Amino acid sequence: MLGLAAPTPYDLRFRLLGIPVRVHPLFWLIMAVLSGGENHLDKVLIFIGCAFLSILVHEYGHGLMSRFYGYPPTEIVLFWMGGYCACDLGRQRPWQRLAVLAAGPGSGFALLGLVFLVGNLFLGISFADDLELIRIMVGLSSGQNLSGAYFQLSPIAQSVFWVLTAINLMWGLLNLLPILPLDGGRITEVLLTMYNRRQGMRWAHIVSLLTAGALAMVFFQRNQIGPGIWFAYFAFQNYQVLQTLHQSAKYGLVEDDADWWKR
């Protein structure tokens, strides 16, 4: 999202399922800030742990799917507000690339399903409660229909269940928006490029600019400054890319390679 993360002496490194993983120190810092725990160390640690697990599962979805198609990732990096899986998407066929891109959010939703299943089998939380939690998070309910089973959990268990649900649901849905560089934006780019090999990339950035700009205005009108700034940044980022593409086309610097997608 914010470029590649240069290695530092303070990176956490390990290997899992044959894929090297590197966690940049800024990941821990940003997650601590996003936790909103302030002076509650337990809430900060729970949020960081849940975010680490959820984002790692997301990136492994990309990585394992890419390896399935014969393009093993070189590493997974957790950095800033998320991470990335370094794999050679450019050599994959369009449907392979779509599968790799969709596998990230799909893995997060699968983790959410596992959380709900564990809650049902071992914590007594019904699937009706799960649905009510989802309705609360998307703003469709005030929580009046939530049964007592959820409130009977310990404060730590409640927090873990809530944070895992929120991250894997809300961040997963957000990531599917047609905004580059989110996965949804990249999926849009692949689909549009399949439809029009020469203009698809530019169209994807136009869709990203309009979508991000519209969402930024909505959030600013609701005085939700944080999300507004975030989407405004995405809109500006796509505007800059469109300006670069326009200038490149103007001076004949665009590579005329309409068959890139076959490689």
Q: Give the chain's domain count.
A: 1
Q: What is the mean predicted confidence (pLDDT) over 212-219?
A: 96
> Could you tell me whether strands 75-79 and 19-23 are parallel, antiparallel, or unpaired per DSSP bridges?
parallel
Would you state the pLDDT for residue 91? 76
Q: What is the mean predicted confidence (pLDDT) over 136-144?
A: 83
Q: Is residue 207 part of a domain?
A: yes
Rounded Cα gap, residues 165 and 155, in angstroms: 15
Q: Is residue 126 part of a domain?
A: no
pLDDT tens digits, residue range 88-122?
766 789 999 999 999 999 999 999 999 999 999 98
- Least confident segment among 13-27, 61-75, 110-124, 238-252: 238-252
- pLDDT higher than threshold 80 for residue 248: no
Would you state the pLDDT for residue 38? 65
Domain assignment of residue 219, given as a range: 178-251
Burial 161-199 (b: 16+ CB within 10 A, else e): bbbbbbbbbebbebbbbbbbbbbbbbbbbbebbeeeeee
Q: Is residue 149 part of a domain?
A: no
Q: Is residue 200 part of a domain?
A: yes
Percentage of residues of the chain with pLDDT beyond 90? 68
Q: Is residue 16 part of a domain?
A: no
- pLDDT higher than threshold 70 for residue 252: no
pTM of the model: 0.89
Q: Is residue 135 part of a domain?
A: no
Would you state the pLDDT for residue 262? 39
Q: Is residue 73 part of a domain?
A: no
Q: Is residue 226 part of a domain?
A: yes
Would you state the pLDDT for residue 193? 94
